[in-house]
Amino acid sequence: MKIKKDFIKGNKKIKIISNDGSPYPIPESWQPVLSKCDMLVIIPDMHMYIYNSHLDNFKYGAEAMIKFLNHLSTLKEEMELEDQTLRIYQLGDLYEQRFPGLHGPNATAVEIRMSHSSYDQIVNSMNILRTHFLYGNHDFELRHFPGFRFAALEGKVYIEHGFTPDSWKDFSNPNAALWEAGQFVFLTIREINDFFANLLVAANVIQKDEFYSWGVPSGKDPVYDYPSEKDYIKDYGHCLKYYSERMKKNSEMKDAKITVIGHTHHPYINTNVNNGKHIFIDSGAWTSGRSDFVVITNEELAICCYKR
């Protein structure tokens, strides 16, 4: 299956941002790379939070997400008529559960989902599409939920959120010894930010929807760019190195040719990992203005975005 012909199907809102707008071909010797589906769509970090909170940087991309899920729903029905299977993954950080909540230190998934009808619609649509959910570091609590898991192997495609390479100092790896201590500091900073920001709102210095948290872009302005390889290696080269080594050495994943992660919010593809033996994909994000996702067929792969 071809991405432009069989996935995009003339939808002007969908744009391939990797490889100058062209899908990467998958080596014929690897094909088929998918074993239980004909097309794989992977949605990265979303970070949905309470809709009317200034800490929520997903809301500006919510309408685009609904339209995208409608596209997937139509595509899934059309593929089923041809006896073909579409499989969808959400890579984790679906919710932002490390900000102050309505009734406690962390907002719950239910609070977030029910904070706006669009959010409830998005989760319902994902469930109807039988989306497979992984958990990330910001929704780590969901590891206790039925259906949420750490990683998946779809044929020769390995999928996980991507926090594994992070050390304790990044405060972003739930497996690290100082994870809870780091999250306590993180939450305290957010609560201080929330306190002072609301004072400014009360004093009519700023409007409630004008501001956002330190280090959290509001997402009001759309971002469709594809960062340079130089910038990615500079900031996230440790991720590429970690997964390159793991694909090379891990005998349990000897059949995996492609690794897909999220977590960094920076889309990136390297098709020459381990001298061309593997492919590494960082899927980007659907938050902070971005609206990225990955499409993989047995013939091609690409990082795309859905325009608002």
pLDDT tens-digit profile of 255-304? 899 999 999 999 999 999 999 999 999 999 999 999 999 999 999 999 99
pLDDT confidence tier of residue 56, bands split at 50, 70 and 90: confident
- What pLDDT is attached to residue 246? 93
What's the chain's length in residues? Answer: 308
In whole angstroms, give the CA distance from residue 94 to residue 45. Answer: 6
Please determine, for residue 140, whether its predicted confidence score (pLDDT) is greater than 90.
no
pLDDT confidence tier of residue 60, bands split at 50, 70 and 90: very high
In the CATH hierarchy, which fold is given to the domain comprising 3-164+223-299? Purple Acid Phosphatase; chain A, domain 2 (3.60.21)
A 10 A CB-CB count for 47 gives 26
Contact 186, 165 (CB under 8 A): no
Let me know the angle formed at the C-alpha of 183 by 132 and 238, rounded to the nearest 5 degrees.
Answer: 65
In whole angstroms, give the CA distance from residue 163 to residue 1. Answer: 31
In whole angstroms, give the CA distance from residue 98 to residue 55. Answer: 11
What is residue 4's DSSP assignment? I
Please determine, for residue 210, whether its predicted confidence score (pLDDT) is greater than 60.
no
In whole angstroms, give the CA distance from residue 157 to residue 253. Answer: 10
Give the DSSP H/E element, type plus range, for residue 304: strand 300-306
Please determine, for residue 147, whether its predicted confidence score (pLDDT) is greater than 90.
no
Report which of 235, 246, 92 is spatially closest to residue 174, judged by C-alpha positions: 92
> pLDDT digit string (tens) for 179-202?
777 777 777 877 787 788 778 878
In whole angstroms, give the CA distance from residue 23 to residue 156. Answer: 18
Sign of the CA dihedral with 166 first, then 169, 170, and 171 last: positive
Q: Span 213-226, mean pLDDT?
A: 82
Listed range (25-34, 81-90, 103-112, 207-216) with the worst mean pLDDT: 207-216
In whole angstroms, give the CA distance from residue 180 to residue 163. Answer: 15
Please determine, for residue 64, whether its predicted confidence score (pLDDT) is greater than 80.
yes
Let me know the angle formed at the C-alpha of 294 by 95 and 87, rounded to the nearest 5 degrees.
Answer: 80
Let me know the angle formed at the C-alpha of 63 by 52 and 104, rounded to the nearest 5 degrees.
Answer: 30
Please determine, for residue 307, whether its predicted confidence score (pLDDT) is greater than 80.
yes
Q: Span 127-149, mean pLDDT?
A: 85
Give me the helices (H) in 82-166, please: 109-113, 117-128
Listed range (77-86, 112-121, 249-258) with the worst mean pLDDT: 249-258
